Amino acid sequence: MDDALLRSLTPGVLGILVRRGADFAAAEDAVQDALVEAIRVWPADPPRDPKGWLITVAWRRFLDTTRADAARRRREDLVDSEPAPGPTPTVDDDLQLYFLCAHPSLTPSSAVALTLRAVGGLTTRQIADAYLVPEATMAQRISRAKRTVSTVRFDQPGDVATVLRVLYLVFNEGYTGDVDLAAEAIRLTRQLAAAIDHPEVAGLLALMLLHHARRASRTASDGSLVPLAEQDRGRWDTALIAEGVDILQAALARDRLGEFQAQAAIAALHADAPTAEETDWVQIVEWYDELARLTDSPVVRLNRAVAVGEADGARAGLAALAALDDSLPRHTAVAAYLHERDGDLATAARLYVEAAHQAPNLAERDHLTRQAARLNARRQR
């Protein structure tokens, strides 16, 4: 049985339960129970209509629970209102579920957890493992999130931008455990792209595909980070790159530029270069200018300084960097790199050490320490 296929049915089934009048929290629990039951029963006895099977089992489970809650009157109303079997709207329900799970009243971590469970169909344990959090804590986070959105009406239109931020977080900040969060983020973004026609959804999907294409080359066999310029481009997944570029081009043609399309455009320019030396840095700087106009994020301006350093020389990059607040994360790392390119190895080595001290993650810290060690060894020769 295909686990991803099973889980892809989750939002549709949940949406139908909610449309039939089940409250979101109870419906979500019922769908989880149905998924667990499916994993148990299907291998020996596969249903002809998997989605219909899940709806039936989840609905029955929901009614059982409601009955146990002594809400008899309400349950009878619900049974009476149960719609006749037949085609049910699904695309709309999928979309509403994304909106609900990324509702602005939720904190980012709650929205991520709820999205992975209610839209992604992952179990609480899988989500807990993926974020290195005890299962009991994750269970509380999810039920708290469900309570927070319990008063939100299911048919309220939502904001696509909040959904995209949640999916971006899932893609960008996952640990590598049992569940491949990057692949899961791509699956959920594909599903979203099928439910809504929106250039930024396409932009985010393209961005994810273009970065995912480089995944195998991003880390060496010992787990250390390999910077973009040193990656073995022969190991990039050309099929994913081609798909990402196609999706991006179609989105850009709509002429409604957004930050994810611009980020994807930068990733596409990197993907397009046969060697690091052939990278079109001039165009990349132009895209960073677009991005800065769209988001005004200091991180974007920092990355722009790197690109300027490649396009116009290290001095120009350092000048661009000088205009930025030096307390920005990775500011020192960028300064170290640009000073090395400028030939000032002593300053670069000193800054690499300082940057390693400030690094937010172990892989980056080790990488920066190695850079310092490399320069120090070269200077002693």
Partner 1 sequence: MAKYLLLKHYRGGPAGVNDVPMDRWTPEEISAHMQYMNDFASRLEKTGEFIEGQALAPEGAWVRYDGPGRPPVTDGPFAETKDLIAGWMVIDVDTYERAVELAGELSAAPGAGGKPIHEWLEVRPFLTEPPTIAE
Interaction with partner 1 in 81-120: which residues (CB under 8 A)? 107-110, 112-113
Shortest distance, position 98 Cβ to partner 1, whole Å? 19
The number of C-alpha atoms within 13 Å of 284 and in the hemisphere containing its C-beta is 24
| Site for partner 1 contains 233 (CB under 8 A) | no
Nearest Cα neighbor of 328 from 308, 302, 289, 291 is 302
Among 91, 282, 346, 363, binds partner 1 (CB under 8 A): 363
Q: Among all chains, which residue has been given the structure tokens 């209102």?
A: 81
Measured from the CB atom, is 24 or 287 closer to partner 1? 287
CA pair distance 29, 139, nearest whole angstrom = 11
Q: How far apart, in whole angstroms, are the C-alpha atoms of residue 17 and residue 22?
A: 6
Report the C-alpha gap between 238 and 230 in whole angstroms.
18
Among 182, 314, 320, 348, binds partner 1 (CB under 8 A): 182
Nearer to partner 1, 151 or 361 (CB): 361
Residues 136-175 that bind partner 1 (CB under 8 A): 136-138, 140-142, 144, 169, 171-175
CB nearer to partner 1: pick between 261 and 303? 303
217 near partner 1, rule: CB under 8 A: no
**365 belongs to the binding site for partner 1 (CB under 8 A):** yes
x/- letters, 35..74, toward partner 1 (CB under 8 A): ----------------------------------------
Count, residues near partner 1 per rule CB under 8 A: 44
Of 350 and 365, which has the nearer Cβ to partner 1? 365
Which of 13, 38, 248, 306 touches partner 1 (CB under 8 A)? 306
**Angle (nearest 5°) at CA 168 between 165 and 171:** 155
Considering only 286, 290, 354, 364, the residue that binds partner 1 (CB under 8 A) is 364
DSSP 11-67: HHHHHHHHHTT--HHHHHHHHHHHHHHHHHHTTTS--SSHHHHHHHHHHHHHHHHHH
The owner of tokens 């961005």 is 207
Candidate ranges 6-14, 26-34, 96-104, 205-213; the one touching partner 1 (CB under 8 A): 205-213
Q: Which tokens in the block code for residue 161?
A: 């931008």
Contact 142, 124 (CB under 8 A): yes
Going by C-alpha positions, the residue among 188, 196, 145 that lies closest to residue 167 is 188
Q: In the range 243-262, which residues lie near partner 1 by CB under 8 A?
A: none
- Degrees (nearest 5) of the Cα angle 336, 172, 135? 125
- Report, in Å, the least distance between residue 53 CB and partner 1: 32
Rounded to an integer, what distance in angstroms lies between the CA atom of residue 183 and that of residue 106?
24
Q: Which is nearer to partner 1, 61 or 141 (CB)?
A: 141
Q: Which is nearer to partner 1, 39 or 136 (CB)?
A: 136
Q: Which is nearer to partner 1, 98 or 131 (CB)?
A: 131
Least distance in angstroms from the C-beta of 207 to partner 1? 7
Q: At its nearest, how many Å lie between partner 1 and the CB of residue 361? A: 5
Stretch that binds partner 1, among 17-25, 44-52, 207-215, 289-297 (CB under 8 A): 207-215
Query: For residues 226-253, b (16+ Cβ closer than 10 Å) or e, as one string?
Result: eeeeebeeeebbeebbebbbebbeebbe
Min dist CB 366 to partner 1, Å, is: 10
**Contact criterion met (CB below 8 Å) for 211 and 174:** no
Q: How far is the CB of 355 from partner 1 (least distance, A)?
A: 14
In 3D space, the residue among 103, 133, 86 whose CA is nearest the CA of residue 24 turns out to be 103
Residues that bind partner 1 (CB under 8 A): 107-110, 112-113, 131-134, 136-138, 140-142, 144, 169, 171-176, 182, 207, 211-212, 215, 225, 228, 263, 266-267, 270, 303, 306, 359-365
